Structure formats: C-alpha cells, structure tokens
C-alpha cells in the first residue's frame, strides 16, 4: 500500500470537474501513449493523450483509445486505420514505438458524446490531419479520418546540400 507522505487535503484545493471541450478542430500534440487493459481485462488498447496547443482550451487534454491488441478483427482494422491517419498527420510512417509520435503538432476533429447513463459527456476524436490542413482551430469542420497520402515533391534544382 503506497504511503502518502503526510498528505493533508485541508491544505490543497480540490480540482474542479472539467466539462468536455466543445466539438471542433484543435491543434494538438501527443503528450503520452500507454498500453492499457480494457474494462473487463480481456484485451488491451493504446491510449493516446492529446494536449491542446493553442486557443481558449490550451493545455486541456483529449484521449483516444485504439484497439490494436484485440481479438476483434473489425476493431483492430479500425484501430490500424486510425493509427495510419495519425502517422500520416505527423509525417512518421514507420514508428518503432508510440513515443516516436509524441510532441509533433497535428490537428484533430473532436465531438462531444451524448450523455451516458450517468449523465456524463466526454470528447471523442473523429479524425486526424496534418497541421494547417484545416482553416483555424476550435472551429467545427469536416475532416477526413484517413487523409490521402501527399504527392511526392519534385527534387530541387540545386542539390549541393547532399554533398
């Protein structure tokens, strides 16, 4: 059992309950990733925590869960599609681990769910795009779940920097 080193709640203000951020698009970066068990401990998912980088909700976080380690072929296919979208949005096509995706700005489309049985709402990530792909942040926009891959750039005329 962890010792709390004399913690006294009388000396610390409690955190306020935070409502979900409004639906819209946000400039974010992946702050953390973690492999976690699902509620019934039958499978695992990749939990991604996105941190909002600007605007009135700067510093807030939004979570997404990708069912990469599941027995469901359909859930795994959806998760891999989302992971592919994230990789394309941050420009890292073959990450060796999830930390390779951290701290690179991208845009996400966020919705707010309907209230659950307990009356709570939460944010859900609906899509991912490269930074600057959308006009502004925090504005409701349509956003592709899987952006089309960029066209290869023409080589520059002067390639002296290669030498």
CATH of the domain at 23: 2.40.50
Q: Average pLDDT, stretch 15-21? A: 88
152 in a structural domain:
no
Q: What pLDDT does 70 receive?
A: 92
With a cut of 80, say whether residue 32 has pLDDT above it: yes
pLDDT tens, position by position, 40-51: 888 899 999 999
57 in a structural domain:
yes
* CB of 72 closer than 8 Å to CB of 44: no
The CA distance from 147 to 88, in Å, is: 7
The CA distance from 111 to 88, in Å, is: 21
11 in a structural domain:
no
30 in a structural domain:
yes
| Domain encompassing residue 41 | 18-144
The CA distance from 25 to 130, in Å, is: 12
Best CA proximity match to 26, nearest among 114, 98, 105, 121: 105
pLDDT band at 118 (very low <50, low <70, confident <90, very high): confident
92 in a structural domain:
yes
162 in a structural domain:
no
62 in a structural domain:
yes
* CB of 95 closer than 8 Å to CB of 87: yes
Task: Share the mean pLDDT of the chain.
Answer: 85
pLDDT band at 65 (very low <50, low <70, confident <90, very high): very high
42 in a structural domain:
yes
Q: How many domains does the chain have?
A: 1
Best CA proximity match to 46, nearest among 122, 123, 101, 106: 101
Q: What pLDDT does 153 receive?
A: 47
* CB of 139 closer than 8 Å to CB of 152: no
Q: pLDDT exceeding 90 applies to what percent of the chain? A: 66
Best CA proximity match to 26, nearest among 1, 2, 48, 59: 59
């Amino acid at each position: 059992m962890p010792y709390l080193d004399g913690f006294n709640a009388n000396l610390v203000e409690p955190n306020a309950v935070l409502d979900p951020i409004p639906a819209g698009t946000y400039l974010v970066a992946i702050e953390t990733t973690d492999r976690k068990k699902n509620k019934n401990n039958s499978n695992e998912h990749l939990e991604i925590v996105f941190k909002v980088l600007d605007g009135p909700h700067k510093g807030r976080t939004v979570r997404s869960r990708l069912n990469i380690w599941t027995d469901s072929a359909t859930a795994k296919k959806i998760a891999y599609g989302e992971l592919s979208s994230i990789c394309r949005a941050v420009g890292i096509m073959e990450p060796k681990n999830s930390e390779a995706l951290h701290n690179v700005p991208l845009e996400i489309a966020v919705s707010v769910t309907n209230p659950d049985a307990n009356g709570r709402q939460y944010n859900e990530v609906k899509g991912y795009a490269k930074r600057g792909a959308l006009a502004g942040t925090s504005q409701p926009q349509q956003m592709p779940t899987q952006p089309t891959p960029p066209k290869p750039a023409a080589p520059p005329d002067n390639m002296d920097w290669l030498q």
